[in-house]
Amino acid sequence: MLSGVFAGLLTLLPPGLFSPPAPVRQAPVAQQAPTPRAPARDIEFRWRDHPQVRNGRLFRVDFVGKFQWDARDPGDDPSDFDNFEIHRARIGIEGELFNRVQFAIERELTEREVENPNPGVNEKSAWKDVYVDANISDALQVRAGKFKIPFGLEQLTGISNLDFVYRSLSASYLAPARDVGVALHGRFFDRGLTYWAGWFVHDGDNARSSTIDGADDTLAVRVTGTPLRSIPGLAKTELGGAFTVSDLDNVSVDPNGLRGRTVMSQFVFYPPVFVKGHRRRYEIDGDWSFGPVGARAEYTQVLDSREGQGLADQDLSDARGRAWYVSGTWVLTGEEKERPVRPSRKFGAIEAAARYERLWFDSAGGEGPPLRNPRADNMLPSGEHVLSLGINWYITRWVKLQFDTIREEPQDPERSPVPPGEAFWSPVFRFQVGI
Amino acid sequence: MHPKRHLLLVTLSALMFVAASSPTHTQVADPTDAFFDGSVLHDVKLWINSRDWETLKTNFLSNAYYPADLQWNTETIRNVGIRSRGNGSRSGFKPGLRVDIDRYASTQKFLGLKSFVLRNNTQDPSEMHEWLSMLFFKRMGLPAPREAYARLFVNNQYVGLYTIVESVDKSFLTRTFGEDSGYLFDYDYPADAAPYYFEDRGRDPAIYVPLPFKPETHENDARPEVIANMVQAINASSGAVFRGAVAEFIDLGQFIRHVASEVYLAEQDGVVGEWGMNNFFMYRPEFSNLFRLIVWDKSQAFVMGQAYPVWHNITDVPEANRNRLLNRALEYPDLRALYLDTLLEAGRVASEVPPDALPGDTRGWLEREIDRAYTLIAPSVLADPLKPYTNDEFVASVEALRVFARERTSFVNADVASSR
């Protein structure tokens, strides 16, 4: 047992230090019981990107695990803050049946967001991806279950493949993330054009909390393409855009709008406001890489209607949340920019990364002076600018160390965790294993 | 320069100097005086989303804030926060309200105020206990918040008669003590907490702060050890040094006058109330440990009736239920005499007939204030759609107050005489 675990851990270490993880082929059942027509004959165990059990094209099961441990020190010095935490510990399986049906089941074993202070109220499930995907053709596939609503480049990037310790603020607070639903998706022109279109019960985990219900009945569409792939240097350029629309009720007595929080301490610099009607999200993004260099940019806007939400029960101007970021990475050791980077040297691959972003909330119009209250027609903007500088060390394909230092500059001095006009730096170190 | 223009400039300059030097120019009226003018019935209007108002009433035990616009006279202030407030007076029908002017903008003020209270008076059918008590305390020379009656309109609908109560905050401290840099504590007595009588609960400051002594200033550095030390001085110092030890922490004379005034008003929920201490603030300047008391919430004054004994809850209860500070202080003859003299003074203040009274009109000050208040508020109380008592109960309750005003001093004087 222990030797098996040890052997497994050895596979996580840099190639060259020890032997590379040779595919562990299970002894054919036929060798133990030489029955020529035994159906288990082709079952084999492999370890490529993940430990895998498969039987040719009949079925395949990948075992996945994601572990992240953080040491961090927020510069705004929040109280009751754990400087060390196991940020994520996920296990799951992914696979395929009959070369036509894909599936995934993933569960979070520990995560801050799962620890709800109000048990039973808007509890987030520890189950992450739980879906089946029927592959009718390249152009038409159907996915049902719980999975990410197709919106936002950064949000749709897996947690093990992020260029920074934390996702962008737009991905964390404006993009919807996972929900239960059904979606059609497919690709054309040899992946030159992909689409997603789906319906979801709510509008994702990011829009909900113990006191925020979030929206319902979400329709989502996302299209991406590589229209520049014939141009040298721009071949790996993917452009995308997405749109969602959801119903917003105000059944809850608490405000049901989106909120804005700081990156690490999650200080709320923009509390939710009262909303009712529809929530519309818009997003455009671009992702480019060339050799060891990569860049990303994304712009997101969310509009929440506020029907009857004024002090005199009148309609208010839309509540608006906006965010953008630009980021760049450079694999200093020369490997191709991929997610994840695959190291080619004994000591692994080193990557430098930088991102500048802004998230801010206000109202799309409104009369009178700008105010902070959650029923103001003209809402005083609140947001922050964030600069993230990071170094990523890909020790192996599966093990990564990340060190980021993050500078946050809140916009509204009365909704800031630091004195007016001040910015603060927050360093964070992450140890990650993702198989 | 043309001579005429020169003459004009000189004349204008002289006029400006005279204007700037005139007494009227240098006098600055307190803009809050009009808001707390108790001689008139105010109209206060709140504009709030109808759903929020219903939610506030439904969840009246919650301290959740709701945005509102406030209108008083010609003044309109937007972007204020209101919430349900009170302990025993909390109501889902006629909610007591705290109005925080600076809830959504830290620098916003209304006539210089950061907040005020709209008291619903649901525990007092006369709606006068609080009003009369604060007037009385001020006549006794003790610090007390200002109050005025107001008809409250929510979204243009009359929701009842309320009392505007000045918050005990930095504005109050500046007005009352001339500075606000010290340490203010609200004695916050949770309904489910064991009654407290200033007994020694230990030396750990955390036993006393933030409960029952809740910091209202210097919230992040309330110097709670001063209160812990005060409790030690009250309980641990020997008889020989008690007075000197305690004198560092509390103005004993002011404390005794405060208690005597409450006792005169037959207050059952004050410093020597039926359930331990309650309903006061304590304040000490920044560079002094000497606390003074500030009166708060007198909805339970008068309810014990005019025959309320002056030694009730002082000597007629078991040792464990006696206020340690008061009882030890009253062992000193001069402080005991001060207590009794203050009771007599209270009687004189309450019964004093003004020199300009009409012949045959023997009503004392307290009874006149009752009559004045009745004239001011009776129509609004009778029209109050949400008060938790009948109009007959209101009238009877006011009449009971008149009886109290006429008879209380005699009872007190007799009690004091028998105590000499």
The CA distance from B104 to the nearest CA of chain A, in Å, is 5
Q: How confident is the model at residue B190 (pLDDT cuts 50, 70, 90)?
A: confident
pLDDT given for residue B18 in this prediction: 40
Average pLDDT, rounded, for chain B = 92
**Nearest alpha-carbon partner for B154 in B66, B37, B49, B83:** B49
Q: Measured between beta carbons, which residues in chain B are less than 8 angstroms from residue A371? A: 78-79, 104-105
pLDDT given for residue A38 in this prediction: 47
pLDDT digits (tens, 9 = 90+) for B229-244: 999 999 999 988 999 9
CB A144 within 8 A of CB A182: yes
B325 has a pLDDT exceeding 50 = yes
B 133-172 near A (Cβ less than 8 A): 155
Coil, strand or helix at B238: coil
Candidate from B79, B81, B155 with C-beta closest to A376:
B79
Domains and CATH numbers, chain A: 63-97+112-434 (2.40.160.10)
Nearest-CA residue of chain A relative to B50? A313
Give the Cα separation of A426 and A351 in Å (integer).
Answer: 20
Nearest-CA residue of chain B relative to A372? B104
pLDDT digits (tens, 9 = 90+) for A354-387: 999 999 999 998 988 899 999 999 999 999 999 9
pLDDT given for residue A337 in this prediction: 96
Coil, strand or helix at B274: strand
Which residues contact residue A372 at a Cβ distance below 8 angstroms, ignoring those fewer than 6 apart? A379, A380, A382, A412, A414, A415, B79, B104, B105
Q: Measured between beta carbons, which residues in chain A are less than 8 angstroms from residue B106? A: 414
The CA distance from A265 to the nearest CA of chain B, in Å, is 20
The CA distance from A322 to the nearest CA of chain B, in Å, is 22
The owner of tokens 């999975």 is: A147
B105:A372 CB<8 A: yes
Candidate from B47, B59, B104 with C-beta closest to A311:
B47
B49:A313 CB<8 A: yes
Candidate from B49, B103, B106 with C-beta closest to A375:
B49
Which ipTM score applies to this complex?
0.76
A2 has a pLDDT exceeding 60 = no
pLDDT given for residue A123 in this prediction: 60
Q: Measured between beta carbons, which residues in chain B are less than 8 angstroms from residue A274? A: 49
Q: Measured between beta carbons, which residues in chain B are less than 8 angstroms from residue A369? A: 78
Average pLDDT, rounded, for chain A = 88
pLDDT given for residue A61 in this prediction: 94
pLDDT given for residue A114 in this prediction: 45
pLDDT given for residue A368 in this prediction: 87
Express as a percent the part of chain A with pLDDT over 70: 87
Tally of CB atoms within 10 A around A409 = 16
DSSP-derived secondary structure letter, B415: H
Q: Where is B257: in which H helix or E strand?
A: helix B252-264
pLDDT digits (tens, 9 = 90+) for B352-407: 999 999 999 999 999 999 999 999 999 999 999 999 999 999 999 999 999 999 99
Candidate from B55, B79, B155 with C-beta closest to A253:
B55
**Best residue in A77, A118, A250, A253 to probe B by mutation, most B CBs within 10 Å?**
A253
Residue B81 sits at the chain A interface (C-beta within 8 Å):
yes
Q: How confident is the model at residue A13 (pLDDT cuts 50, 70, 90)?
A: very low
Which residues of chain A are at the B interface, by a Cβ-Cβ cutoff of 8 Å?
Answer: 250, 253, 274, 309-313, 368-369, 371-376, 414
CB B132 within 8 A of CB B301: yes
B105:A414 CB<8 A: yes
pLDDT given for residue A179 in this prediction: 96
Helix axes B365-382, B333-351, angle to 10 degrees: 60
The owner of tokens 């509204």 is: A412
Least confident of A223-227, B3-7, B63-67, B133-137: B3-7
Pairing of strands B280-284, B213-215: unpaired
Give the Cα separation of A141 and A101 in Å (integer).
Answer: 9
Q: How confident is the model at residue B28 (pLDDT cuts 50, 70, 90)?
A: low
Burial class for A170, CB neighbours closer than 10 Å (0-12, 13-18, 19+): buried
Helix axes B391-419, B333-351, angle to 10 degrees: 140
What average pLDDT does the segment B208-233 reach? Answer: 96
Q: How confident is the model at residue A266 (pLDDT cuts 50, 70, 90)?
A: very high
Q: What is the 3-state secondary structure (H, E, C) of B288-349?
A: CCCEEEEECCCCCCCCCCCCCCCCCCCCCCCHHHCCHHHHHHCCCHHHHHHHHHHHHHHHHH
Residue B76 sits at the chain A interface (C-beta within 8 Å):
no
The CA distances from residue A356 to A153, A168, A238, A240, A299, in Å, are: 16, 9, 20, 20, 12
Express as a percent the part of chain B with pLDDT over 90: 88
Q: Measured between beta carbons, which residues in chain A are less than 8 angstroms from residue B79? A: 371-373, 376
The owner of tokens 């000490």 is: B284
**Nearest alpha-carbon partner for B77 in B101, B106, B43:** B101
CB B60 within 8 A of CB B92: yes
Which residues contact residue A106 at a Cβ distance below 8 angstroms, ignoring those fewer than 6 apart? A64, A90, A91, A92, A93, A94, A127, A128, A129, A130
Helix axes B129-139, B365-382, angle to 10 degrees: 150
CB A94 within 8 A of CB A104: yes
The beta-strand segments (E) located in A205-292 are: 216-225, 237-248, 260-261, 268-270, 277-290
pLDDT given for residue A3 in this prediction: 42
Q: How confident is the model at residue A251 (pLDDT cuts 50, 70, 90)?
A: confident
The beta-strand segments (E) located in A111-236 are: 127-137, 140-148, 178-188, 193-202, 216-225
Residue B51 sits at the chain A interface (C-beta within 8 Å):
yes
pLDDT digits (tens, 9 = 90+) for A392-413: 999 998 999 999 999 999 999 9
Least confident of A50-54, A306-310, B221-225: A50-54
pLDDT given for residue A73 in this prediction: 96
Task: Cis check for the bond before B309: say yes or no (omega within 30 of 0).
Answer: no
Candidate from B49, B69, B103 with C-beta closest to A309:
B49
B67:A250 CB<8 A: no
